[in-house]
Amino acid sequence: AAHLRAAETAISRADVLVTAVTRLRGTRAEAARLIPPALTGAEAELAPFRDGTADEGGTHARLLHADAVLAAVRQETTSGHPYDPLGVLRRIVQATAPLATGRSGALAAAARLVALESLAAADDCVTVHREAVGAAPRVLLSRARSADGPARADALAREARDLAEQDVRLRGHPA
């Protein structure tokens, strides 16, 4: 009976991982399609700050940072080298967030996609390693699910996954 339960658990974990790989493949393709409109949306969000009003306080520094990130993203995506489309979208969203006014639907879609993938990946990690994962990652994951806004959900989900992976490294892989 114990061997049967262990086999069922292994099959269940394998199913979660195979489903995660399939989901990630689709999400990465969607992210790659979203990069050009997200870059355009980011430029549209930054345009009002280019008329000289960016000299106020830290706005100029935020604009310079966003410009540097967008230039690096363009370089990375056109270099011909492999890159992580979800990571690129995350960088675009995070760089423009301090200046964004919410007018760009592409940036909002990018933020949602990144957050949903982070939530799913954290959930998969907790599910596959449920015996080793403690309460802290589970609480963070729960908070991520109910977070206000995709940026907060993404940050909490990523932190939950990091803590879950740390728990797995500390406690091992119970059978």
pLDDT digits (tens, 9 = 90+) for 31-56: 999 999 999 999 988 888 877 655 66
152/43 Cα distance (integer angstroms): 23
pLDDT digits (tens, 9 = 90+) for 69-108: 999 999 999 999 999 999 999 999 999 988 877 767 899 9
Q: What Rg, from alpha-carbon coordinates, does the chain have?
A: 19
Residue 18 banded pLDDT, cuts 50, 70, 90 = very high
Residue 98 confidence (pLDDT): 84
CA atoms within 13 A on the CB side of 146: 5
158/128 Cα distance (integer angstroms): 16
Residue 119 banded pLDDT, cuts 50, 70, 90 = very high
- pLDDT above 80: residue 173: no
- pLDDT above 80: residue 137: yes
Tokens of 124: 């998969």
pLDDT digits (tens, 9 = 90+) for 148-161: 999 999 999 999 99
Residue 55 confidence (pLDDT): 60
Residue 7 confidence (pLDDT): 83
